[in-house]
Amino acid sequence: MIPRTLAMIALGAFVTTLDNTIVAAGAPSIARDLALDLPALQWVSIGYMLAFAGLLPVAGTLVDRWGQAATLRAGLLTFGAGAAAGGLATTAWLVISARVLQGAAAAFLVPALLSLLRTNLDARRRALGATVWTACLAVALALGPTLGGVLSEYLGWSWIFFVNLPFVAAMLVLLRTLDTTGRDRGSKARPAVLSMLVVTTGMVLVTAAVVELGVVLGAAGVGFAIWFVRRERRARERLVPAELTGHRVFTGALIVQLLWGLGVSGVFFFTPLLHQESLGLGPMLAGLPLVAVAVAVVAATPLVPWAVPRFGPHRTVAAGLALVAAGLLAVAAVNHVPEVLPRLSGLVLIGAGSALTTPLTSHALEIVAEKHAGAASGLLTASRELSSALGVALIGAVLTVVRTAKLGEGHGPALADGYTAGLLTAAALQLVGALLALRLLSGQTGQSPSRSDKRGDPFLSSR
């Protein structure tokens, strides 16, 4: 039972994280075959992240109502259907729709899989389960761009989607052997579905406004955001508990994490595109340098438990963001060099700095009441996915504006100039985040979980 539970958790963590990054190296191939312009290409990535972020805050409650088995079965079948549809798609809207379907399924799979840690493993083995989850996230981060490049170059970009199907099949087989009766009784908690629909619509409109540079879309998105805030103040069943929105450290963690994702995610999405178009690399080699980021994350993570007690979580996070900014600036400084090797040192700095930002989650969860731990975990995860989507949109908008201006002036390397501008924008966001981390994340923590709870909670051991 225990090995099967760990295998289920490992496969789920890997495949849901893999789909965040696997499209990066294959995106240029998709764009060429389907004649996508840059805004449409961005939605291939954004569609997954927005659906994931929008549904996640209510997914945990719905998992409790529907039960583990029903949620996992429906989520896996939906995720597999999205993968098959994406691989067979011949138009942009079909590819984007498939990605949205996969993101929606992932939003339910993640809390259902994490609930297995509580119901199928004892306190001692939860630490092992959390470690397995974290390790699989790191492996997926490292392999995503390279695997996407290999599949695109040798089998075709459709296999970026088809590669999900063996994971889905294996997890469906494992699910039949797991004991999920402990969570199939149904919960009476009512999910705030309308609030979720309002805030998700606002997120989609704001993101679309950034991608399309549309003022009307942006105004509509702000309108939905205002509606969401007013509704939350009056609603009996709130999407976000009032105790969380009024907590300075928790809201600060959300803001700082959003700035980190805004700065980093978009750059990562466009890096393989630059390597292919400007450096003439194939899809596999274009995505390979991003492995340096993931390796640096894994290598620097052991420094976090050493740094936090000595310097505090606020200074550790601020130092990490400053290091990310330095890495982005280092890549920008050598972007004119038509070689990959000079870029690696900057990518390593980005990865090492990102590792030092992991206390954002653990510190935020330590200071919230235990009864809100589930909601806080969901919000932090949703914030990470939203920041990734907005990051792709923002850096894409910067790249588009600079590229259009350079082409209008008759300059040749317009994509490279736009990419440099995106790097500088991302670095500025990291520095703002570092300053806010020093200001918003300082102070004493509240009642913290017990040591055994910290070891057993995967949200306290990974971002």
Q: What is the pLDDT of residue 193?
A: 81
Q: What is the pLDDT of residue 308?
A: 87
Q: What is the pLDDT of residue 325?
A: 97
Domain locations in the chain as residue ranges: 1-190, 193-236, 243-463
Which residue, 141, 161, 137, 143, is CA-closest to 27? Answer: 161
Q: How many Å separate Cα 32 from the centre of its chain?
A: 26
Architecture of the domain defined by 243-463: Up-down Bundle (1.20)
How far from 63 is each of 120, 174, 227, 292, 346, CA to CA, in Å?
A: 16, 19, 27, 36, 41
Alpha-carbon distance of 283 to 160, in angstroms, equals 12
Same fold, 1-190 and 243-463: yes
pTM of the model as a whole: 0.82
Q: What is the pLDDT of residue 268?
A: 80
Q: What is the pLDDT of residue 450?
A: 40
8 A C-beta contact, residue 64 and residue 111:
no
**Residues lower than pLDDT 50 in the chain:** 183-185, 445-463
From the CB of residue 436, how many other CB atoms can be counted at a distance below 10 Å? 18
Instruction: Check the CA dihedral 261-262-264-267 and report its sign.
Output: positive
Tokens found for residue 406: 């350079």
Q: What is the pLDDT of residue 237?
A: 74
Which residue, 20, 17, 11, 3, is CA-closest to 170? Answer: 11
> Each residue of 263-313: pLDDT tens digit?
888 888 889 888 988 888 888 898 888 888 888 888 888 888 899 889 999
Q: What is the pLDDT of residue 458?
A: 40
DSSP label of 157: T
> Each residue of 424-446: pLDDT tens digit?
999 999 999 999 999 998 865 44
8 A C-beta contact, residue 456 and residue 126:
yes
Q: What is the pLDDT of residue 91?
A: 93
Long-range contacts of 115-120 (CB under 8 A, 24+ apart): 115/63, 115/68, 115/183, 116/5, 116/8, 116/9, 116/68, 116/178, 116/180, 117/9, 117/456, 117/458, 119/68, 119/180, 119/182, 119/183, 120/1, 120/2, 120/5, 120/178, 120/179, 120/182
Tokens found for residue 385: 């996915």
Regarding the domain with residue range 1-190, which homologous superfamily does it belong to in the CATH classification? MFS general substrate transporter like domains (1.20.1250.20)
Alpha-carbon distance of 149 to 147, in angstroms, equals 5
Q: What is the pLDDT of residue 448?
A: 41
From the CB of residue 198, how many other CB atoms can be counted at a distance below 10 Å? 21
Q: How many Å separate Cα 120 from the centre of its chain?
A: 26
Question: Residue 289 in 3-state DSSP?
Answer: helix
What is the DSSP track for 13-76? Answer: HHHHHHHHHTHHHHHHHHHHHHT--HHHHHHHHHHHHHHHHHHHHHHHHHHHHH-HHHHHHHHH
Q: Is 280 left (phi over 0), alpha (psi -120 to 50) or beta?
A: left
8 A C-beta contact, residue 433 and residue 314:
no
Tokens found for residue 107: 């939003």
